[in-house]
Structure 1
Amino acid sequence: PLLVCIFNALGLLGAHLVGVSWLGLDNGTFWGNMTSTVEVWSDLLNGVWKSAAFGAVIALIATFQGYTTPPTSEGVAYATTRTVVSSAIVVLALDFVMTAFLM
């Protein structure tokens, strides 16, 4: 969740840089449109909830895979691969479900 807050701030700063500096938008126009289209607290809280859920799911998958792996270098490599693949699929599915319910 802390990284989400940092990256949200960096995203806003990057959008301001591109919109105002590179595309030549007026600063007031940029922030006026930004505040009219972005619901700050709702969008921030959705991001924090999602990041907490993703972190918990990834931790649970990694813990399960690590607990059930054979104690060999081949077992660890196989468990790591299964963890990454499983986490990616579950995060995509969970993102779809959470987006449908949080919007």
Structure 2
Amino acid sequence: MSTDTDLKEKSYTIAEWCAMRKYSKPTFHKMRREGKAPKVLVVLSTLRITETADREWEAERMKEAETEAARLEAARRAAHAKHAAQAAAKSNRHVSKRGKKKRAA
């Protein structure tokens, strides 16, 4: 049963929520497929996200970021990025190893 408070709670369309959180709509839909998007409410065939759902989503993401798995994944990504940067710098095609182009006079 809905109360007056429930009905008066501010909600956002997907586009509004994405703009507020600085996500693209495709990113939102990817998060939704992965089960990581905020809960949505269907109002007259329009998907809406309530402020409560937004706060819950934010708390879940904060908790997720603090987990050991997230720390390990961040370390793995950092090591991968370092390795990729070193490999790129060693490449003969790296920008630092290109000769200067001579201009025609």
**TM norm structure 1:** 0.32
Q: Over alpha carbons, which structure has the higher Rg?
A: 2
Q: Which one has a larger percent strand, Structure 1 or Structure 2?
A: 2
Q: Which has the higher contact order (CA 8 A, sep 6+)?
A: 1
Q: Which one has a larger percent helix, Structure 1 or Structure 2?
A: 1
